[in-house]
Amino acid sequence: MSQKIKIGIIGGAGYTGGELVRLLLNHPNAQLQYVVSKSQQGKDLYEIHQDLTGETDLAFCATAEKGADLTFLCMSHGDAKKFLDENKFLYDAKIIDLSRDFRISRQSTGDSWQETAFIYGLPELNREKIKKANYIANPGCFATAIQLGLLPLAAKGLLNADINVNATTGSTGAGRSLNATTHFSWRNDNLSVYKVFEHEHLAEINQSIKQLQNSFSDEISFIPQRGAFSRGILAAITVNIGLSQSEVENLFKIYYAEHPFVHLVKTVDVKQITNTNKCFMQLIKHKNQLAIVTVIDNLLKGASGQAVQNMNLMFGLEETTGLKLKANVY
């Protein structure tokens, strides 16, 4: 394409907003038109994202501008919907929302239920729909890591027993705001559980599984953990399944054959994919148990990288454009 995509970002001072800026400044087909931050308006981007010193002279502005081809919403859950209600003109262009507000497609509107106009933006599930979509609900980070481990099985109707998930997130998953569990003195050298069995991402995971395997009615027992690392998610999933190791591997290979960011590997660790948009996964079969261990960077494949992947699809670009990132592996 000859012309660059003009882009607006709403909520650019946080982690996901910052990552989007970093990705888009180096994206050959993107042009940052404006970046909104209420709390930091007037400041240069590089005052908040100091690593950008020397890369951009853009400053944070206070309100959304007209004329963008695409708006990314990087706001807290609840705020995105509200912001769009107050800035309805944004619906005239394309939208990618990184919050939770539009992920569940069938939402209650008081008495009745209504389908949202947003497509759930997990390319490995909905690539063709995303290509044609105007509005995308970008998946959650845990939800991405867990779904990528389950989609190939759901596509074959093989999820017929309870699923156990234990997934650990880096601290950036909790965002830039300060709280007791992101205090260095607490989190360093530590590990903890939270929201046991009740993490809010379960809703979107269940929705995606049922999209592929409508019969699914079992429980996903999910124990989220907070790890002593900054970036990344490792999800360890256990399911009961009759297939052999090689049958399972084959099934996953076929499912992900045309998906450039997902790879089966022999052993998996978080730093293999840190600072990239990749998802690596390892499969281990033992008796009737299958362990699926997936790793992603929560801020990239789990947020801003996936958002750019969706942008690429929506604008007819190669899916990996601007996403061939050097891993931070050491």
In the list 31, 221, 243, 315, the residue contacting its own copies (rule: CB under 8 A) is 221
> Given the rule CB under 8 A, which of 91-99, 115-123, 148-156, 291-299 is the region that contacts its own copies?
291-299
Structure tokens belonging to residue 201: 């991402």
Determine the Cα angle at 64 with ends 49 and 8, to 5°.
Answer: 55
The Cα–Cα gap between 245 and 268 comes to 17
Question: What is the smallest separation between the CB atom of 263 and its own copies, expressed in angstroms?
Answer: 5
Asked if 49 touches its own copies (CB under 8 A), the answer is yes
Question: What is the smallest separation between the CB atom of 162 and its own copies, expressed in angstroms?
Answer: 8
Give the β-pairing of 70-73 and 5-10. parallel
DSSP for 26-93, written as a single string: T-TTEEEEEEE-TTTTTSBHHHHSGGGTTT---B-BSS--S--SEEEE---TTHHHHHHHH-GGGGGS
> Given the rule CB under 8 A, which of 143-151, 203-211, 244-252, 322-330 is the region that contacts its own copies?
322-330
Question: What is the smallest separation between the CB atom of 225 and its own copies, expressed in angstroms?
Answer: 7
Q: Which of 146, 143, 153 is nearest to 254 (CA)?
A: 153
> Given the rule CB under 8 A, which of 32-40, 110-118, 272-280, 310-318 is the region that contacts its own copies?
272-280
**How many residues line the site for its own copies (CB under 8 A)?**
81
Question: What is the smallest separation between the CB atom of 37 and its own copies, expressed in angstroms?
Answer: 16
In the list 57, 85, 128, 189, the residue contacting its own copies (rule: CB under 8 A) is 189
Residue 26 or residue 250: which is nearer to its own copies going by CB? 26
Active site residues: 141
Inter-residue long-range contacts of 54-57, CB under 8 Å, 24+ positions, other chains counted: 55/25, 56/21, 56/25, 56/32
User: What's the longest Cα–Cα distance across the chain?
Assistant: 60
The Cα–Cα gap between 180 and 19 comes to 24
In the list 7, 15, 96, 130, the residue contacting its own copies (rule: CB under 8 A) is 15
Residues 6+ apart with CB under 8 A from 254: 152
Asked if 50 touches its own copies (CB under 8 A), the answer is yes
Asked if 23 touches its own copies (CB under 8 A), the answer is yes
Question: What is the smallest separation between the CB atom of 285 and its own copies, expressed in angstroms?
Answer: 9
222-251 positions binding its own copies, by CB under 8 A: 223, 225, 227-232, 234, 236, 238
Q: What is the CA radius of gyration of the chain?
A: 19
Asked if 254 touches its own copies (CB under 8 A), the answer is no
> Given the rule CB under 8 A, which of 92-100, 138-146, 208-216, 261-269 is the region that contacts its own copies?
261-269
Asked if 172 touches its own copies (CB under 8 A), the answer is yes
